[in-house]
A and B are shown apart, each in its own frame.
Chain A
Amino acid sequence: MKKYFPAITRAVFFHAGIRATFIGTALVIMLPVCAAAESSDAQADLTGLSIEELLNVEVSTASKFPQKTMDAPASVTIITAADIKIYGYRTLADLLKSVRGMNVAYDRNYNYLGVRGSGRTGDFNSRTLLLVDGCRINDPVYDTAAIGTEFPVDLGLVERVEVVRGPGSSIYGSNAVLGVINVITKRGRDLDGLEASGELASFGTDKERLSYGKHYENGAELLLSVSKYRSTGQDLFFPEFNFPATNNGIARNLDGDRYQRFFGKLAYAGFSLTGSYSSRDKAVPTAAYATEFNDPNLWINDGLAFMALEYYGELGRSWDLSARVFQGRYSYEGIYPYTGAPITLNKDTAQGNWWGTEMKFIGKFEKHQLVAGMEYQDSFRQDQSNFNLAPYTPILDDKRSSKREGLYIQDEITLNRGLLLNAGLRYDHYSTAGATVNPRLGLIWSPVDTTALKFLYGTAFRAPNVYELYYASSGSQKANPVLNSEKISSYEFVVEHSPRQNFRLSADVYSNRISNNINQITDPADGLLVFINAGQVDAHGVEFEVERLWEGGLRLRTSYAWQISREKLTGAELVNSPRHLVKLNSSLPVWGDRLRTGLELQYTGGRKTLAGGIANGHLLANLTLLSEQLTKNLELSATLSNLFGTRYSDPGGQEHVQDLIAQDGRSYRLKLIYHF
Chain B
Amino acid sequence: MLLVLTLFLTVTCAAAQASPAKEYEVKAAFIHNIAKFVEWPPRSAGSLKLCVIGQDPFGSALDALDAKPIGDTVWEVLPVRLNSNLRGCGVLFIPASENNNLKPILTSIQGSAVLTVGDAKGYAEQGVMVNFYLEQNKVRLEINKDAAGRAGLKISSQLLKLARIVAESGEIK
Contact = CB atoms under 8 A, between A and B. Distances in A.
Interface string B107-142: 110000000000000000000000000100111100
A642 to B, nearest CB: 12
B18 interface: yes
A343 B21 CA distance: 70
A204 B23 CA distance: 44
Nearest to A599: B8
A46 B28 contact: yes
A555 to B, nearest CB: 10
A643 B16 CA distance: 24
B166 interface: no
- What bracket does the count of chain B residues touching chain A fall in? 35 or more
B15 A312 contact: no
B101 to A, nearest CB: 9
A62 B159 contact: no
Contacts of A50: 33
B171 A59 contact: no
User: Can you list the 9 inter-chain pairs with the closest CB atoms, starting with the nearest?
Assistant: A46-B29, A554-B16, A552-B16, A550-B16, A62-B23, A37-B13, A59-B23, A60-B20, A364-B103
B157 interface: no
8 contacts: A33-B6, A33-B10, A37-B17, A43-B22, A47-B33, A59-B138, A67-B99, A269-B171
Contacts of A43: 22, 25, 60-61, 63-64
Interface string A537-576: 0000000000000111110000000000000000000000
B137 A47 contact: no
A501 B18 contact: no
B65 interface: yes
Given A45-B64, A47-B32, A61-B23, A619 B134 contact: no
B100 interface: yes
Given A37-B16, A39-B16, 20 more contacts: A30-B2, A43-B60, A46-B29, A46-B64, A47-B33, A55-B162, A59-B26, A59-B139, A60-B20, A60-B23, A62-B22, A62-B24, A62-B57, A269-B171, A312-B172, A313-B170, A551-B19, A552-B17, A554-B13, A586-B9
Interface in A35-54: 37, 39, 41, 43-47, 49-52, 54
A370 to B, nearest CB: 12
B89 to A, nearest CB: 17
Nearest to A272: B172
Contacts of A619: 1
A601 B1 CA distance: 10
A644 B17 CA distance: 29
Contacts of A588: 11-12, 15-16
Interface string A579-590: 000000010111
A219 interface: yes
A15 interface: no
A297 B21 CA distance: 61
A593 to B, nearest CB: 8
A449 interface: yes
B5 interface: yes
Contacts of A45: 64
Contact of B57 (A51, A64, A68): A64
Contact of B19 (A60, A312, A418): A60
Contacts of A91: none
Nearest to A269: B171
B87 interface: no
Contacts of B134: 59, 61
Residue from B13, B21, B97 having most chain A Cβ neighbours under 10 A = B13
A583 B135 CA distance: 34
B108 A366 contact: yes
B173 interface: yes
Interface in B146-173: 159, 162, 169-173
Contact of A601 (B5, B10, B19, B96): B5
Given A498-B55, A501-B57, A552 B21 contact: no
A57 B138 contact: yes
B40 interface: no
Nearest to A313: B170
Contact of A417 (B8, B83, B170): B83
Interface string B78-109: 01011100000000000011011001100110
A52 B55 CA distance: 28
A68 B8 CA distance: 30
Name, among B9, B79, B173, the residue most crowded by chain A CB atoms within 10 Å (CB to CB). Answer: B9
Nearest to A26: B2
A50 B29 CA distance: 9
A414 interface: yes
A165 B11 CA distance: 34
Given A44-B25, A55-B138, A58-B21, A34 B83 contact: no
Centre residue among A55, A270, A449, A599 by max chain B CB count within 10 A: A55
A621 B107 CA distance: 49
A51 B159 contact: yes
A284 B97 CA distance: 46
A69 interface: yes
A162 to B, nearest CB: 13
A449 B79 contact: yes
A314 B169 CA distance: 10
A364 B108 CA distance: 12
A34 B1 contact: no
Nearest to B20: A60
B70 to A, nearest CB: 9
A27 interface: yes
A133 to B, nearest CB: 11
Contacts of A33: 6, 9-10, 13
A30 B23 CA distance: 31
Nearest to A187: B172
A82 interface: no
A430 to B, nearest CB: 32
Nearest to B57: A501
Contact of B26 (A39, A46, A313, A550): A46
Interface in A249-282: 267, 269-270, 272
Contacts of B25: 43-44, 46
A56 interface: yes
B29 A39 contact: no
